[in-house]
Chains A and B, each alone.
Chain A
Amino acid sequence: AQKVTQAQTEISVVEKEDVTLDCVYETRDTTYYLFWYKQPPSGELVFLIRRNSFDEQNEISGRYSWNFQKSTSSFNFTITASQVVDSAVYFCALTVIQGAQKLVFGQGTRLTINP
């Protein structure tokens, strides 16, 4: 079975600060995929990134960056120079390639960026 843990329930920072959202996962499969989704107040889950288990390269997209470390089973997400529009609930998720490829989600981290 797969499990995703996002230990930070809520984070609140002041605009322009950097913030890191933690994600720890568990799976016995050697091939798996990790995702981050953003859920703004409108409610829709917005896809941000996906990573497969064979690619440990970190990724940067604008102010967003992701740090994947298999040794610690973590896939952390950092927002640099945060903005108010980054306020949302962020979900980390895991899936394996077999079967339904259903997503197993963490509990989410509510991020509030204060002006």
Chain B
Amino acid sequence: GAGVSQSPSNKVTEKGKDVELRCDPISGHTALYWYRQSLGQGLEFLIYFQGNSAPDKSGLPSDRFSAERTGGSVSTLTIQRTQQEDSAVYLCASSLAIAGGPLETQYFGPGTRLLVL
């Protein structure tokens, strides 16, 4: 079946502009994660959505970052007033995990490579 998809694959923007990154999880997966991969920080967790529960935003680096998940499926990560340090690969993952349930493996999309000039 189809894996996790992300769009765009690449995004170049100017400092100060807003960007939106999209993630389509694997069909039926209830949990959705955003991670960021940068040269200086490695792979780091950003935000987690589980069904209709309030998201875990503990990894978001600043209030310029926000994310939403509509209808329990597609998710959009928004970065406002982008800065050069936001340049990174943004990875989305999904899993079958449910609240209080067993741990499930996360499957990753190809990522969006963001470059802020």
Contacts and interface: CB of A to CB of B under 8 A. Distances in A.
B71 interface: no
A100 B103 contact: no
Interface size class of B (residues with CB under 8 A): 20 to 34
B42 interface: yes
A51 to B, nearest CB: 11
B37 to A, nearest CB: 9
Interface of B is mostly: strand
Contacts of A52: 103
Contacts of A43: 89, 110-111, 113
A99 B109 CA distance: 22
A97 interface: yes
B106 A103 contact: yes
Interface string B48-66: 1010000010110000000
Contact of A44 (B35, B58, B97, B109): B109
A101 B43 contact: no
